[in-house]
Structure 1
Amino acid sequence: MTRFKLMNRLTVGFLSLILSAGIANSQIITGKVTDRSTGVALSDVAVVVMKSGKGAVTDQEGNFMLSLEAGKHTLEFRHVGYHHQRKDVTFAEGMSTLRLEIGLEPEIYHQEQIVVTASKTGMHRDIAPMNVSVINSRQIGQSTESNILPVISGQIPGVFVTERGVTGFGLAGGSAGKISIRGVGGSDASFPVLLLIDGQPQFMGMMGHALPDTYVSTDIEKVEVVKGPASILYGTNAMGGAINLITRRQKDEGFDFRGRIMYGSFNTQKYTASTGFKKGRLDVTASYNHDQTDGDRPNSAFNIDNGYLRVGYRLNDHFAVDGNVSHSSFKAYDPGSIYAPNPSAFDNNSQWVDIQRSNAYFTLSNHFEKSEGGLKGYYMTGDHSIYDGWKSKDENMGISLFQGLQLFSNNLISLGADIKKYGGRGEAPSLGNRSGEWINVNELGGYVFVQQRFFGRLTLNAGLRYDHHSVFGGTWVPQTGAAYNTGIHSTVKASISKGFRNPTVRELYLFPPANASLKPEELWNYELSYIQDFAQGRGNASITVYAIDGDNLIMVVPNPNTPPPVINMNSGSFYHTGFEVDARYRITDNLSMYLGYSFVDMETPKVGAPGNQFMLGGQYRLGKFEVISSLQTVGDLYTKVLPANEMVSESFTNLTGKISYRPAQQITLFVSGENLLNQDYQLQYGYPMPGTTMLTGMNIYF
């Protein structure tokens, strides 16, 4: 035994003697804290007695000791990089000692296993009623992408995001950033995938689309992707799925700072600064992000600034409030399609969009032993100007109330209601009498969801939502499913769910094809999954098969009662079948890999939705060096429908890599490359992606 360990044990024993002899009516708690996944003892863990101000810190062997009065106490165990854990203990009169064994989950493992998007309350993803994929904070931090959407597209099988250049998606003509899940979405005309920030819906009030350039990766701690309908909880636009961006918050006491500087091909520059502060019940997080590039083609420059502030305060052991505000300002230039008949029309940066977007969110959350939920409110607004004279202002606001109740063992009842109001006004000659008119629509929805676990293995769930729209009335949305634990680490899941997308203000009222008689788009999703978790938290694997039957799709068709010559009608349908494979494994403490594959057979191929994707990536750490590489192969990506329904498709392989070196604890230097195979391909018709691009930079932490 080393001298240090001997002194440690003598000290603990001496303190125990003093405490037991000198403190009347006090009891002693001793214990050990370890890493739950590896069993390794954790030193410097803060053990806090809630409401009392007392506490202790674990020694080199993970041991701690506390003296407490008789009664009920709540202990919280906190350690950097681990999920905080609370433990209720009760000392009856006459008890003298109590021994605890505490296993803390690494934060990354907890992020991957506990999801909130599938039920609005924390739940293990294996029994969650929806199929949820996760990107954790480590994976986000390893990327050099300023925007979170390319990270999602490169790591989640079945999810795809279109791009058009070295950075920036743009808006309006020539824009990218269309999202598809399992072949649903991807086109310019339909937006059936809902973006959420901390569970709050994100879409432009008039047009209904997401705002892809505003989702900054440094603000995001974790991404949860629901593949398949999430309409029962979130209503419109979650027909094909939902992507929930969970923002970063300061969890550890004190102050920290993170900065990043990058420079690379095409005079691309990226600057990020992020800071956090926590003292007692108060936590604050703030960030600023700036990106700019000359673009890989003439007249394709892009410039964006993003600011973010989040403040949280824990009122007591049961209630907490937090709010955040953000603002994005960007200007994007359209270089035009390489097939444009008059390329000179795009010269001198003549075709541009100038966008201002602001968001504000508020949450009052509650957490009790058998109940948790919250009240959320959001407001977002934007001002858009386009070179052709278009100007618009839009708003999107709402309130949601939800509560999860555990009335008896292994039971969960989720109740919720939400109110939405969105719309705006546009100014352009093409709007005719609607130019300058403010148009709003309202939605009111409510749902109930019940989940029950039987015999420790079988979990059944069922739910129903009713959603009422101010224009066309109500929609019923049912869902049911089951999960069965076939072993300690394996689960089989099945579900049947309905999703819907309400017509947007644009589809109902704006531009000549508008039709105020439209009804919601709908689909039914049927899926079966097998999930395998590997021992000691080393990873997991899953395979999912599904079928999707869509109807009432809104399409532009010839108008039998002209004018106008065309009109929006609920005349489309589709049928998709497919499967997905996703596997992640930590081979050693220094080496981890992931593999993914997705295939979808689309009865009618869709623009912006690939038929198959293959992903392979890995991370290796050796001392102060780290190497990250990923390979993505995309096949049957349809980019254009030509006359006579002829489809233009793309297939390509993209190799990316990053090498980083950490000369000091606070500094990391790196160089990264994309399209290292220098492939020639298009994700957006007429907008070829750049060849090999390089970035070099530095991360700073303190």
Structure 2
Amino acid sequence: MKTLLCGVAFAALLTSPALADDAPQEVIVTLTREPVALSKVGQSVTTFDSAAIERSQSIYLKDLIARTPSVSIAQTGGPGQAGTARFRGAESDRSLFIVDGVKLGDPSMIGGGLNLGLLALNDVERVEILRGPLSTLWGSQAIGGVVAVTTRTPKRPFEAQMSVEGLDEYIVGKAGMGGKTGQLSWRLAAAYIDDDGVSSLRGGAEKDGFTQKHLNAYVHYALSDTSGLRARLARTESDYDFDGYNAAFQLADTRDTGFQDENLTSLGYYTQAFGGALKQTFTLSYNTTKRSTSDLANATAYPFEGRQTSFDYTGALTLSEASKLVFGASSERTQAIASGLNKRVTLNGLFAQWRQDVTQALTINASVRYDDHSVFGGHTVGQIAVAYALSPSLVLSSSLGQGFKAPSLYQLYDGWSGNLALKPEDATNFDLSVDYYGPNDSRLGVSLFGRKTDNQIDYDLSSFRYGNIARTQAYGIELEGETKLTPNVRLSGNYSHIIARDDARTSATFRNDLGRAPRHLANASVEWQATEALELGASVRYAGRSFENIYNTRRLDAYTLLDLRATYALNDTVALFGRVENATDEDYETAANYGSVGRRLWLGVRAKY
């Protein structure tokens, strides 16, 4: 199956006319803290603009990023259940998620990560996914990858959008409006999800539902042509049912419930100096996550709260047309509150990146970061990335970089398993990419990558505490391609072969595959503008066999998902759309003993003004 998918994705490219010296379409990347052309980044990046997000009809961020190379998704059931993502085999809490420049995470979780299953694409206009480390610019967790989400900002004096989609057992509604007049820009958006769900327990009879309410507000006031203030408020309330463990400590079809309330507040100030040569941004943010689960079998509630206060400064100094220095400082104070735990730590960092266009074709990016943690002390990482355009149709990129992850508050301070002697995890990553650009807006890319992680934090069964006892490695190849078969038909696809395994020679699981890390991943998609009003699309996703855990005792079978979609524009304002998810009604697992969503039909309408 994987061979077939790979062939479908790239056949059109291999049989198209010979590649010409056509310059690649310019794409600007912003997760590098200062906008830069994709061809100069030196690392593997995939971007989705607002049109691509709309065409995908994705509701959740996980479903969008799953279309990109080397990303595997695991979820303990249907909508709203605990979700994780692995980037190039890196464990889920070793990748970083950013919304409008603010790092996301829940300090009260075991690994300090987040529940990706609750992260919906609410009022989002752009998503950027970088595969590989970027700790030199963003600090802890940016080992496997970085996902940067940008929400809508108004472009006109008044604009509004709304959409409603679903069927009898599930519905999603979104609405937003805003405007830009003179010095003031503003936007207000809301979203609502109500889903009856499926049984979290594989084969269970009782459905586990999910509801979510989201509100987002944005204000921008330009103090002058070169300075201004930005403020953003966001609140998300999620309620979900799930299947937990019964009195015999076995996963069962229980009626457990949970909720999670998230609040994010950020205030930013930007200014320019020296005729625009120096651009500066100051951002203060505060986000909280309150969650609780009710274990009905034991009549017990488990409340948790995570708080994160961050200050971030970024400066970008243009020394010449060929030289730019990006530098800055950050301070993060995180706090976890749970039963028997109320602790906080501080992580302060300094970073700098030099970007030099050595020639018109050659760009070098060199960066370094120093962090000081209130528990383990100082830590330094570095990275160098090179992009070289051998011709307008051939670009070579390579990077060698370090990433790190600070131990979480739970791993440091838990009364039973915490360990204050923990050091940060260290990862070293190398990748090499070649991209060919040709006629018909086509591209073919090949990437080789490898990563080794030392001092990885894991639970030590001999001491019953967390320790720096693990060592892992991952390496593989990614193939990407896209082309226009005709002016109205576009084909794209990717294939990834990843080996992610235990690399500690003294471990009982030495050379075992890491859990929930398929060796083979593939995507293929076709978009057809059938008429001026009608657009049709289809996507196929393949995930190969994997193991549930590092002991490799429980295998997860391979699966293939087919999605079909259509959009019909009634006029310039209103469009009807629909899709069939999992059209073949595949029965599959991404986490052992947990269910998955079968075939679903969605019908919707959206309007914009």
Which band: TM-score by shorter chain? 0.7 to 0.9
Name segments (4+ residues, structure 1) moved above 6 Å: none
* Percent of residue pairs identical: 21
The answer as to 2:446 corresponding to 1:548 is: no
The answer as to 2:574 corresponding to 1:682 is: no
Residue identity in the other structure for 1:365: Y
Alignment match, 1:63: none
Residues paired across the two proteins, number: 559
Q: Deviations over 1:391-429 (max 9, x none)?
A: 1222101111111112123011111110000012112xx
The answer as to 2:467 corresponding to 1:580 is: no
User: How much does 1:524 deviate?
Assistant: 0.2
SS in 2 for 1:613: strand
The answer as to 2:49 corresponding to 1:136 is: yes
Using the alignment, how far apart are the partners of 1:264 and 1:695 within structure 2? 6
The answer as to 2:334 corresponding to 1:415 is: no
Matched-pair contact (CA < 8 Å) for 1:254–1:278: yes
Alignment match, 1:257: 160
Matched-pair contact (CA < 8 Å) for 1:214–1:306: no
The answer as to 2:24 corresponding to 1:122 is: no
Alignment match, 1:162: 74
Matched-pair contact (CA < 8 Å) for 2:183–2:222: yes
Matched-pair contact (CA < 8 Å) for 1:299–1:346: no
1:472 corresponds to which of 358, 373, 376? 376
Matched-pair contact (CA < 8 Å) for 2:500–2:517: no
User: Which of 362-371 and 627-636 deviates more?
Assistant: 362-371
Alignment match, 1:306: 214
Q: What are the ranges of 5 or more consecutive residues in structure 2 without an aligned counterpart?
A: 1-23, 200-205, 295-299, 503-512
Alignment match, 1:286: 188
Q: Deviations over 1:202-230 (max 9, x none)?
A: 00122211242553313211111111111
Residue identity in the other structure for 2:452: D
RCO higher in structure (CA 8 A, sep ≥6) = 2
Using the alignment, how far apart are the partners of 2:527 and 2:245 within structure 1? 37
Using the alignment, how far apart are the partners of 1:281 and 1:585 within structure 2? 42
Structure 1 segment 642-661 matched on structure 2, within 5 A: 645-661=552-568
1:460 corresponds to which of 348, 360, 364? 364
RMSD: 2.1
Matched-pair contact (CA < 8 Å) for 2:563–2:582: yes
Structure 1 segment 492-503 matched on structure 2, within 5 A: 492-503=396-407
Using the alignment, how far apart are the partners of 2:78 and 2:574 within structure 1? 26
Matched-pair contact (CA < 8 Å) for 1:214–1:328: no
Residue identity in the other structure for 2:268: T
What TM-score do you get using the length of structure 2 for normalisation? 0.88
The answer as to 2:414 corresponding to 1:519 is: no
Using the alignment, how far apart are the partners of 1:152 and 1:205 within structure 2? 23
Alignment match, 2:87: 181
Matched-pair contact (CA < 8 Å) for 1:162–1:608: yes
Matched-pair contact (CA < 8 Å) for 1:126–1:531: no
Change (3 A) 1:584 1:376: farther
Residue identity in the other structure for 1:402: T
Matched-pair contact (CA < 8 Å) for 2:411–2:417: yes
Q: Deviations over 1:678-698 (max 9, x none)?
A: 111111211121221111111
User: How much does 1:641 deviate?
Assistant: 5.0
Q: Deviations over 1:344-394 (max 9, x none)?
A: x644x2x11111110011222235543323111211012212103211222
Matched-pair contact (CA < 8 Å) for 1:218–1:274: no
Change (3 A) 1:214 1:166: closer
User: Which of 367-376 and 473-482 deviates more?
Assistant: 367-376
Structure 1 segment 607-646 matched on structure 2, within 5 A: 607-621=515-529, 622-640=531-549, 645-646=552-553
Using the alignment, how far apart are the partners of 2:217 and 2:379 within structure 1? 37
Alignment match, 1:16: none
Residue identity in the other structure for 1:229: P
Alignment match, 1:23: none
User: How much does 1:541 deviate?
Assistant: 3.3
SS in 1 for 2:43: coil
Using the alignment, how far apart are the partners of 1:231 and 1:609 within structure 2? 23
Alignment match, 2:303: 391
User: Which of 523-532 and 278-287 deviates more?
Assistant: 278-287
Matched-pair contact (CA < 8 Å) for 1:336–1:687: no
Alignment match, 2:105: 203
Residue identity in the other structure for 1:507: Q
User: How much does 1:460 deviate?
Assistant: 1.9
Alignment match, 1:94: none
Q: Deviations over 1:91-141 (max 9, x none)?
A: xxxxxxxxxxxxxxxxx966xx100112x0110011114332111211211
Q: Deviations over 1:503-534 (max 9, x none)?
A: 00011112522111111111100111112344
User: How much does 1:244 deviate?
Assistant: 0.6
Alignment match, 2:64: 151
Matched-pair contact (CA < 8 Å) for 1:640–1:685: no
Structure 1 segment 336-347 matched on structure 2, within 5 A: 336=244, 346-347=253-254
Residue identity in the other structure for 1:513: S
Residue identity in the other structure for 1:242: V
User: How much does 1:535 deviate?
Assistant: 5.5
Q: Deviations over 1:245-303 (max 9, x none)?
A: 1111112x2222211111236x0111111212111232212211111111122141111
What TM-score do you get using the length of structure 1 for normalisation? 0.76
Change (3 A) 1:658 1:594: same
Matched-pair contact (CA < 8 Å) for 1:449–1:463: yes
1:365 corresponds to which of 248, 255, 270? 270
SS in 1 for 2:65: helix
Q: Deviations over 1:226-251 (max 9, x none)?
A: 11111001111112221111111112
Find the structure with the greater CA-based Rg.
Answer: 1
Change (3 A) 1:557 1:475: same
SS in 2 for 1:684: coil
User: How much does 1:576 deviate?
Assistant: 1.3
SS in 2 for 1:656: strand
Alignment match, 2:20: none
User: How much does 1:438 deviate?
Assistant: 2.5
Alignment match, 1:425: 337
Residue identity in the other structure for 1:146: I
User: How much does 1:607 deviate?
Assistant: 1.9
Using the alignment, how far apart are the partners of 2:461 and 2:238 within structure 1? 37
User: How much does 1:587 deviate?
Assistant: 4.1
Residue identity in the other structure for 2:525: G
Structure 1 segment 219-368 matched on structure 2, within 5 A: 219-251=123-155, 253-264=156-167, 267-297=169-199, 298-336=206-244, 346-347=253-254, 349=255, 351-367=256-272
Using the alignment, how far apart are the partners of 2:309 and 2:517 within structure 1? 30
SS in 1 for 2:412: helix
Matched-pair contact (CA < 8 Å) for 1:357–1:380: yes
Alignment match, 2:507: none
Using the alignment, how far apart are the partners of 2:484 and 2:518 within structure 1? 29
Using the alignment, how far apart are the partners of 1:663 and 1:629 within structure 2? 21
Using the alignment, how far apart are the partners of 1:352 and 1:539 within structure 2? 48
Alignment match, 1:89: none
Using the alignment, how far apart are the partners of 1:545 and 1:691 within structure 2? 35
Change (3 A) 1:603 1:218: closer
